[in-house]
Amino acid sequence: MATLVVEIAALPVDRIGALPAGLPAPVLPSVDLATIRDLAAPALAVAALAALESLLSARVADGMMPDLPRTQPDRELLGQGLANVASGIFGGLPATGAIARTAVNVRSGAGRGWRPSPTPCCSW
């Protein structure tokens, strides 16, 4: 609605500009010993919290879908780690499972064949 009003009234609103047509090129970050020393503890804390939240989300989903196979924690964390490393190489942000999204997806039929998800992006 707001976009329509701005367009019709020709209001002077800043625009984002053109969106990129594809993914950014992969880049390995430059890292030195001082950066590793400064970021090691915070990175470990974030990784531990992300792992904990993802495993708790998986546990919630397992409890909500007793007729489906249980989550394998080692595979869950390996997949999350690989995805987060790939995300970083392409300039993205780390991601985790979230209990609220997991519960909404399970209640919407996730894990029981394809259905539209109420979560607006790539959730499965």
Rounded to an integer, what distance in angstroms lies between the CA atom of residue 29 and that of residue 43? 15
- pTM, 2 dp: 0.64
pLDDT at 122: 47
pLDDT at 114: 56
Instruction: Summarize pLDDT for 25-39 with one digit per residue, the tens.
Output: 899 888 899 999 999
Rounded to an integer, what distance in angstroms lies between the CA atom of residue 13 and that of residue 30? 37
Low-confidence spans in the chain with pLDDT less than 50: 117-120, 122-124
